Amino acid sequence: MSQIQQFYAGQNVFITGGTGFLGKILTEKLLQSCRDIGTIYILMRPKKGNSVQERFEAFLGDTVFDVLRNDYPEFSKKIVGVEGDTAQNKLGLSETDYARLVEEVSVIFHLAATVRFTEPLEKAVAINVNSVKHVIDIARACKNLKAGIHVSTAFSHCVRKSINEELYPPPMSHEEINMLVEMLKRIEAPGNLTEITGEWPNTYCFTKAIAEGVVANYATDLPFAIFRPSIVTGAYKTPIPGWVSSPIGISGMICVCGLGIIHAVLIDTSTRLEVVPVDYVCNALIASAWKIAMTEKRSREDVPVYNYVSGNENPITWKDFDNKVRAVAKTHPFEQAVYYPSGYATKSRFLYTTLHFFLNLLPAVMIDVVLRLKGQQPRMYKLVGQIYEAFNALEYFTTQQWDFDNQKIQALWEQLGSEDKSIFPFSMQTVVWDEYVINMSKGIRKFIIGDSDGNEERARRRQRRRKELLRYRNRRNMSEIRQFYAGRNIFITGGTGFLGKALVEKLLRSCEGIGTVYLLVREKKGKTTQERMDSLLLEPVFDVLRTSSPDFSKKLVPVAGDVASEGLGLSAEDRERIVDEVSVIFHAAATVRFTERLDKAIPLNVNGVKYVLDIAKACKNLAVGVHLSTAFSNCVLSSIDEKLYVPPLSYREANDLCESLKNTEMSEGDVESVTKSVLKGWPNTYTFTKAIGEGVVAEFAGELPFAVFRPSIVINSYEEPMPGWVSGIAGFPAIICASGLGLNHIGFYDSNVRIDLVPVDYVCNALISSAWETAVTKKRHHENIPVYNYANGNEKPITCGQCVRDFQRYSNENPSLRLVYYPFFFVTTSRFVLSLLQFFLHTLPAFVIDGVARLLGKQPRMQKVATLLGNAWITIGYFTTKEWDFETHRVRSLWQRIGPTDKKEFPFSMQEVDWEKYFIRMAGGFKKYLVNEPPGNEDKAKRRYIYFYIVHSIVRLALYSFALWLVWKIFW
């Protein structure tokens, strides 16, 4: 047994307020975790025509005891209901019950209170103040008292902005408040409540502050403590995640908003929200009683105070909390909702009143009119009015924040042994807010609204219908693209690649009503499909989404497979699921290595297309499919239109070639020779197989709602999800990044040639939009497959020279901390000059550096880097020394077709791009996402840059001097 369990073994406990929210959980926890406890006496009074015995039987039948009932069926034998009333002297106990408690009880928990903020003063004083004196009198009479706890509230002294774990002077003494109440009763006048309560916002906080004064005055010599929890909400873990008993406070707010009754709330979303789960509150309460009993009390010592709050250890703002609740409302909606749950939070009283009238009251009146016409009892206007009054009472706590000290609670947690920490967890640092909000929302759904566990899907369907109704009513301002994707299940190949990640993130962030997104993921480098999926979800691309929609991962389902395998390598179960559910397909998987062997490139870039089309043909509800190609698939032409061209090889011919390369024992030289003869002008296997891939779409997708999307060179994001975001390092961005780091000093490009660069976020927006247009545009039988060329040349041209200059200028002004040498650059369009520059500027310095590394016992690596850079320039030189005219009529027409809302949500017009701003973001993105440069080191990076500049200047001076000396020696 743990220390706390040992203490409670054999102890008889007396609880006031045991039938309330906190009292039920406290009783359940004591019986669940302290099985050797003695008797638990619970004070009860007759209520609403029910006798104490009837209330006791109803109490034992509460769902809060369901788990305990299964684990410990005899638990009820340890609970005794005692008739009484906290507002009466000696708690209204009979002589027999009083004597029994005094004789047997050793631990007292005084929880009883009225929590109504608008309670009349007389009643609030009787229950919240006088009861404390009655409980202390009984505690003083107890023969074996070891510990007593008065449960107050963290907001008892809310007139202070900083609240420590100490006693504060009460607004009135126990005697003064009772004299005032008696005087008001005699003159039969309620008095001006504001004059009485002063700065305190309501009678609840006012009387709780006075009650603490009662404890300070009358319990100083007793083993008594004051326990102050903040806003107590549904259970986090035990006995049932999310358990809650009534729709009050935060739970009530979530309830009425989730039901679609209320659409405007009065909250300052920038302030901290002080909420604590009821099970953690009870665990801390049980532990604090143990602490009081174990601590020797010095005479007349101040009564210890425990502030149990969340803000110090695990703060959360109203905004974050609201975002999490909204996210859960989409995945776990209330079946009994009367309207789609949407709304606004504001701290402005004027704006709130206006919104309340239009969004809450007016709809309520309209509903009541309809109810009257149907002969039914109108109820919505009255209900909304009651909720409005309740929200007004909460305004004081939802529009400001407090600083609470809770060192005693934290010290108490540290004093517990590991076993007690496991049995009685209460450290708020262990609370995961995402998980808690899910549990809390499920609890409200189940225990307050009464939705059954098995109706989530039905509730989601009803919510989608309500959402569609709401969208229909706001169609002029609605996003047509969002409407299209709402409720649709998506299948994406290549979703773990650079473009694929951005596409997945954008779909989940901007199309919040989307269904499930299935990602084809293959095992790679020893990692399973699930392990790769887990790694993907942790990537920075999802940082913004993680904040706005913490549960976004629930919409992502990894599907094990391989794009190069027949049927995509799907299991029968996964294939059936996709065929039954998917209505949108994005085929983005490909090998983008320019030098890939043909027998590897064809299965991925050609056969993968055929296998995806086979799946698409089998899909029962296919709305659209898009094959992602490249603007350079037909780069053998100088002018490329938005149409399909005759491929260099058919699907069958490509596979015959692939088989011949696999089955013959060719050397690498022979394979390279065959490849050159087959390419017929195409510069590499990537563009060659992409051209064949388009031919596969033309050959096999004639009757499908399919499109081909051709982006040019895809680079860092412009705006979303973060400016400059990039993943992986390859191609043109890799060369640019290496130049900024001082690794690359040569450029194989024509400064006057246009280069076609497109930001990845704009590419994804255009891709999503083109899928929408293909789906909603009626396709005529055997009509050509629509092709979208997404390039910048026609709308926002930029030359290679301008691109490099802009990037270099910013890199020099804001150098990287990872700089390896001073960044300088020589440009050529000659292969011969390129080779010379490669030797003198890359190979030779790399040889020297690696030699030094070997002498120092380090791993040489610069030769490898130099070779990679040289090969990279040779590979991309084809695209940086010539230019193409891309026709983008269909993409420009698409931009004109979409509405203003979609243009704002899915921007892709290249005319909107500011290249100067873009290259600043691009350089920042390289520093943050590729070289993992920590922020805040700008001064250190500048010093490093200056150091390398000095070194470079010395080296250059030495070389110039040597050259002059050599010339002098030769000619003089």
Task: Note the pLDDT of residue 473.
Answer: 44
E-state strands within 17-63: 40-44
Give the tokens for residue 13: 């406990």
Angle, to 10 degrees, between the axis of helix 380-398 and the axis of helix 362-373?
Answer: 160
Q: Give the chain's mean pLDDT.
A: 88
Cβ–Cβ under 8 Å, residues 709 and 629: yes
Per-residue pLDDT tens for 820-861? 888 887 888 888 888 888 888 888 888 888 888 788 888 888
Q: Which amino acid is located at 727 in the chain?
A: S
β-sheet bridge partners, residue 713: 757
Long-range contacts of 895-899 (CB under 8 A, 24+ apart): 897/773, 898/480, 898/481, 898/769, 899/479, 899/480
DSSP 3-state assignment of 27?
A: helix
DSSP 3-state assignment of 869?
A: helix
Per-residue pLDDT tens for 774-819? 999 876 555 689 999 999 877 888 888 888 888 778 777 788 888 8
Angle, to 10 degrees, between the axis of helix 844-855 and the axis of helix 862-880?
Answer: 160
Per-residue pLDDT tens for 689-718? 999 999 999 999 988 999 999 999 998 999
β-sheet bridge partners, residue 709: 628, 788
Cβ–Cβ under 8 Å, residues 655 and 699: no
- Residue 336 CA to residue 455 CA, distance in Å, equals 11
Is the pLDDT at 471 greater than 60? The verdict is no
- Residue 650 CA to residue 660 CA, distance in Å, equals 15
Q: Percent of the chain beyond pLDDT 70? A: 94
Give the tokens for residue 535: 């790694």
Q: Please state, as a whole number, how many other Cβ atoms lie within 10 Å of the Cβ of residue 218.
A: 19
Task: Note the pLDDT of residue 141.
Answer: 96
427 pLDDT band (50/70/90 cuts)?
very high
Per-residue pLDDT tens for 863-922? 888 888 777 778 788 888 899 999 999 999 999 999 888 999 999 999 989 988 888 888
Long-range contacts of 942-947 (CB under 8 A, 24+ apart): 942/815, 944/815, 944/817, 944/819, 945/812, 945/815, 945/819, 945/822
Mean pLDDT is highest, among 558-562, 746-750, 960-964, for: 558-562
Task: Note the pLDDT of residue 356.
Answer: 86
Distance of CA 159 to the CA centre of its chain: 35
Mean pLDDT of 627-631: 96
Candidates 825, 831, 828; CA nearest to 805 is: 825
CA atoms within 13 A on the CB side of 19: 23
Distance of CA 522 to the CA centre of its chain: 26
- Residue 466 CA to residue 337 CA, distance in Å, equals 9
Is the pLDDT at 469 greater than 70? The verdict is no
- Residue 648 CA to residue 912 CA, distance in Å, equals 36
Q: Percent of the chain beyond pLDDT 90? A: 52
474 pLDDT band (50/70/90 cuts)?
very low
Residues 6+ apart with CB under 8 A from 397: 155, 158, 201, 231
Give the tokens for residue 42: 């619970």
Candidates 250, 225, 281; CA nearest to 28 is: 281
β-sheet bridge partners, residue 585: 491, 625
Mean pLDDT is highest, among 129-143, 255-269, 649-663, for: 129-143
Of residues 231 and 924, the one with the higher pLDDT is 231
Mean pLDDT of 4-27: 96
Residues 6+ apart with CB under 8 A from 374: none
- Residue 682 CA to residue 663 CA, distance in Å, equals 24
Of residues 412 and 355, the one with the higher pLDDT is 412
DSSP 3-state assignment of 758?
A: strand
Task: Label residue 62 exposed, middle or buried (CB < 10 Å: 0-12, 13-18, 19+).
Answer: middle
- For 874, the enclosing helix (H) or strand (E) is helix 862-880
- Residue 213 CA to residue 217 CA, distance in Å, equals 6
User: DSSP for 419-470?
Assistant: HHHHHS---GGG--HHHHHHHHHHHIIIIII---GGGHHHHHHHHHHHHHHH
Is the pLDDT at 347 greater than 80? The verdict is yes
Is the pLDDT at 193 greater than 70? The verdict is no
300 pLDDT band (50/70/90 cuts)?
low
Residue with tokens 């997708």, as numbered in its chain: 701
Give the tokens for residue 852: 């030094």
Candidates 767, 792, 764, 788; CA nearest to 912 is: 792
Residue 815 is given by DSSP the state -
Task: Note the pLDDT of residue 472.
Answer: 43
Mean pLDDT of 613-621: 94
Residues 6+ apart with CB under 8 A from 903: 895, 909
- Residue 237 CA to residue 243 CA, distance in Å, equals 9
Task: Note the pLDDT of residue 824.
Answer: 83
- Residue 235 CA to residue 273 CA, distance in Å, equals 17
Cβ–Cβ under 8 Å, residues 87 and 114: no
Per-residue pLDDT tens for 495-520? 999 999 999 999 999 988 899 999 99
Q: Cis link prior to 239 (omega < 30° from 0)? A: yes
Task: Note the pLDDT of residue 377.
Answer: 85
Per-residue pLDDT tens for 747-778? 888 889 888 999 999 999 999 999 999 999 87
Cβ–Cβ under 8 Å, residues 266 and 399: yes
Per-residue pLDDT tens for 167-191? 999 999 999 999 988 888 877 655 4
Candidates 512, 531, 514; CA nearest to 522 is: 531
- Residue 756 CA to residue 888 CA, distance in Å, equals 12
Angle, to 10 degrees, between the axis of helix 433-443 and the axis of helix 318-331?
Answer: 60
| CA dihedral sign of residues 190, 194, 200, 201 | positive
How many residues belong to the chain?
972
Task: Note the pLDDT of residue 335.
Answer: 66
Task: Note the pLDDT of residue 866.
Answer: 80
Is the pLDDT at 15 greater than 60? The verdict is yes
Q: Cis link prior to 721 (omega < 30° from 0)? A: yes
Task: Note the pLDDT of residue 579.
Answer: 94
Is the pLDDT at 430 greater than 70? The verdict is yes
Per-residue pLDDT tens for 909-926? 999 899 888 888 888 888
User: DSSP for 887-956?
Assistant: --HHHHHHHHHS-HHHHHHS---GGG--HHHHHHHHHHHIIIIIS-PPSS-HHHHHHHHHHHHHHHHHHH
- Residue 678 CA to residue 675 CA, distance in Å, equals 5
Task: Label residue 480 exposed, middle or buried (CB < 10 Å: 0-12, 13-18, 19+).
Answer: middle
Mean pLDDT of 368-388: 83
Residue 649 is given by DSSP the state S
- Residue 746 CA to residue 731 CA, distance in Å, equals 15
